[in-house]
Amino acid sequence: MKYEKEFPLSNTKVEGVDKKYNLSDLNERREYFEVKAGEEVAKLKKFFDEGRTFIVYLLGKKNAGKGTYTKLLMELFGKDKIGHISVGDIVRDVHSAMEDENKKKELMEYLHKNYRGFLTPEKGLEALLGRDQKTLLPDEFILALVKREIDMMPKKALFIDGLPRNMEQISHAIFFKELIDYRQDPDIFAAIDIPEAVIDERMKWRVVCPICHTPRNLKLFTTQEVGYEEDKKEFFLKCDNPDCHNAKMTAKEGDNLGIETIRERLEMDDKLINKVFSLHGVPKILIRNAVPTEKSNELVDDYEITPEYYYEYDEANKNVKTLERPYTVKDDEGVEVISLLAPPVALSLIRQLVKALNL
């Protein structure tokens, strides 16, 4: 596998732990992290309690799970300790803000005060919104929008998703912490290694809660409760978050087409990760979504492996039965691998964070 010499395959097994955790259950996930990474979790909790923070530039191909892994850490350590910033979400929020005069005014005031560049803020917004297709949006404009997002949240450890987005922005990412009020924070690059075959399945079957925006997958990462629409003869997932009251999770438009719609983006993401891993002087983390099938028994417990879910509807009792079968794919090098569920990948991230922070 890629970078195996620099980053050995993670072993999530813990001697003497025989319990099989239901990783779809919130309380069992908490126990799972405490049992499998209790020492590292305690060190990070102490780190946060001391008011210390860090910045992680989270790199990964589109739909690699960046938001999912961050949400799991937020779930474990608290939203008051960890923040997630998605450059893609920021850009989408700008589109929404333009429809509200008060929000538009606030945004323009911020840009006039904090943005420096060769385009006017007005011209930059035109380019961002796609109304001016001929003007190339400068990186400084995106950085100003990210800075605004950071300014709107209390100081906390940050996972920045979507920066850098091109080769030129790698230098900006290295020095970005100098632009904000986190000057003493360590910064870390964390990359996700995931087979494209898994991304394809994630895209085709991905659903999101309309309330808390937690992603799941109808085929690969189910929820505790599943619904069935008899008129459409379709199954759907219900959000596990108790605050969402079993909200129906829905697919994003276009995801059913798979990875070919984002092929160019995937190639750029791969180049970015390779470029970042050639840098010196910045701590780096590599978390893997999959492990070779032939090594799976020695590296992971069976309940940590991604199953392929399918469903049966009982018309008599009006309920849905969730079934599962083994799920294996070929990685980008043609090796048969098993994909891991999100918690064991987040477990690897926690362990590597502790090492990168020298805790």
- Look up the CATH number of the domain holding residue 72: 3.40.50
Give the model's pLDDT for residue 90. Answer: 86
What is the phi/psi pair of residue 18, to 5°? -105, -10
104 belongs to a structural domain: no
50 belongs to a structural domain: yes
Instruction: Express each pLDDT in 229-261 by its tens digit.
Output: 999 999 999 999 999 999 999 988 777 777 888
Query: Is 0.75 surpassed by the pTM of this model?
Result: yes
Torsion angle in degrees (nearest 10) through CA of 282, 149, 60, 142: -90
pLDDT at 197 over 70: yes
Give the model's pLDDT for residue 238. Answer: 95
**What contacts 134, CB < 8 A, 6 or more positions away?**
none
- The alpha carbon dihedral of 98, 100, 104, 106 has a sign of negative
Instruction: Express each pLDDT in 284-310 by its tens digit.
Output: 999 998 999 999 999 999 999 988 999
262 belongs to a structural domain: yes
The pairing of strands 290-292 and 284-288 is: unpaired
110 belongs to a structural domain: no
- Region 94-105 average pLDDT: 84
150 belongs to a structural domain: no
- Bridge partners for 158 per DSSP: 55, 83
Instruction: Express each pLDDT in 176-188 by its tens digit.
Output: 666 565 557 888 9
Give the model's pLDDT for residue 32. Answer: 95
Q: Beta-carbon neighbour count of residue 115 at 10 Å?
A: 19
305 belongs to a structural domain: yes
Q: Domain count of the chain?
A: 1
**Cβ(312)–Cβ(323) below 8 Å:** yes
pLDDT band at residue 215 under the 50/70/90 scheme: confident
> Is 174 or 126 the better-scoring residue by pLDDT?
126
What is the percent of the chain where pLDDT is above 70? 94
**Cβ(350)–Cβ(41) below 8 Å:** yes
Instruction: Tell me which amino acid residue 282 is.
Output: V
Q: How far is residue 251 from each of residues 46, 56, 213, 225, 235, measured CA to CA in Å? A: 38, 28, 11, 17, 12
Torsion angle in degrees (nearest 10) through CA of 130, 57, 138, 123: 50
Q: Which domain holds residue 191?
A: 26-81+156-356
> Is 188 or 127 the better-scoring residue by pLDDT?
188
Give the model's pLDDT for residue 306. Answer: 87
163 belongs to a structural domain: yes
